[in-house]
Homo-oligomer: A and B are copies of this chain.
């Protein structure tokens, strides 16, 4: 496999509920090509879909109540920090409720179904530009045992979430033990490197992705671990 290019999509304007996000991306990135992976941050997807809640940002109790409302299970709690499971099965801080880069008095929630959001963006970009791209909806999560946040995929379309290399021979010709690589999380992380929180860049393109990874895929069914195989509930 040869190299990848990753570049930000500049010029997506402020997004409001009801906006045609695929159209805004198409206008900002008219040179998208077949096989490109377009990574779009959860924040603009939630804004376009109106997945927002009014909140009194000066009242910590309001934020806490909203986080609990968005949670199906609290996993850990320490001080103001709540790590909980959302109804989508994601385990993250504050159930994905986010006060940054939104209007005063509002909080962004996770999209209702980020895989569906990704499919719609893929359809919209096909309609607008005549291209077959893959879409990843990304969000910024913490993780146990390691400090710092990384971006992961919360939805995808047109790409397998996990590429299963189990059974592929290693370079010695022996069978590999387990190598199920979560390529959409790696792509979300890679895209974050060119976006940056403070610059307001809401999408990026990864060009050159292995074509065998493209196809039907979703985060919900492929990545979210069902309770019976989860050792960290």
Residues of A within 8 A of B (CB): 1-8, 76, 78, 83, 89-91, 99-104, 140, 143-152, 161-162, 165, 168-172, 174, 176-183, 185-187, 189-190, 192-194, 196-200, 206, 209-210, 222-225, 230-232
Q: Is the CB of B176 within 8 A of A100?
A: yes
A103 contacts across to B, CB distance below 8 A: 172
Nearest CB on B from A177, distance (A): 6
The answer to whether A231 and B150 touch (CB under 8 A), given A100-B177, A183-B193, A193-B186, is no
Query: Looking at the complex, which one of B181, B182, B186 makes contact with A146 (CB distance below 8 Å)?
Result: B182
A222 contacts across to B, CB distance below 8 A: 147-148
Q: Is the CB of A145 within 8 A of B4?
A: no
Q: Is the CB of A185 within 8 A of B6?
A: no
A150 contacts across to B, CB distance below 8 A: 181-182, 185-186, 189
Q: Is the CB of B197 within 8 A of A170?
A: yes
A193 contacts across to B, CB distance below 8 A: 4, 183, 186-187, 190, 206, 209
Complexed CA–CA distance, A146 and B172 (Å):
29
> Apart from A148-B161, A169-B198, what are 8 other A-B pairs with CB-CB below 8 Å?
A1-B196, A2-B194, A3-B7, A5-B5, A91-B145, A145-B224, A150-B186, A185-B189
Query: Looking at the complex, which one of B101, B230, B232 makes contact with A170 (CB distance below 8 Å)?
Result: B101
Q: Is the CB of A170 within 8 A of B145?
A: no
A102 contacts across to B, CB distance below 8 A: 172
13 chain-A/chain-B pairs, Cβ below 8 angstroms: A1-B196, A5-B6, A89-B145, A101-B170, A145-B230, A146-B152, A147-B224, A148-B181, A168-B197, A168-B198, A179-B197, A185-B189, A232-B232
Nearest CB on B from A221, distance (A): 10
Q: Is the CB of B6 within 8 A of A180?
A: no
Complexed CA–CA distance, A102 and B171 (Å):
9
Nearest CB on B from A44, distance (A): 12
A149 contacts across to B, CB distance below 8 A: 178-182
Complexed CA–CA distance, A60 and B227 (Å):
28
A6 contacts across to B, CB distance below 8 A: 3-6, 190
Q: Is the CB of A231 within 8 A of B190?
A: no
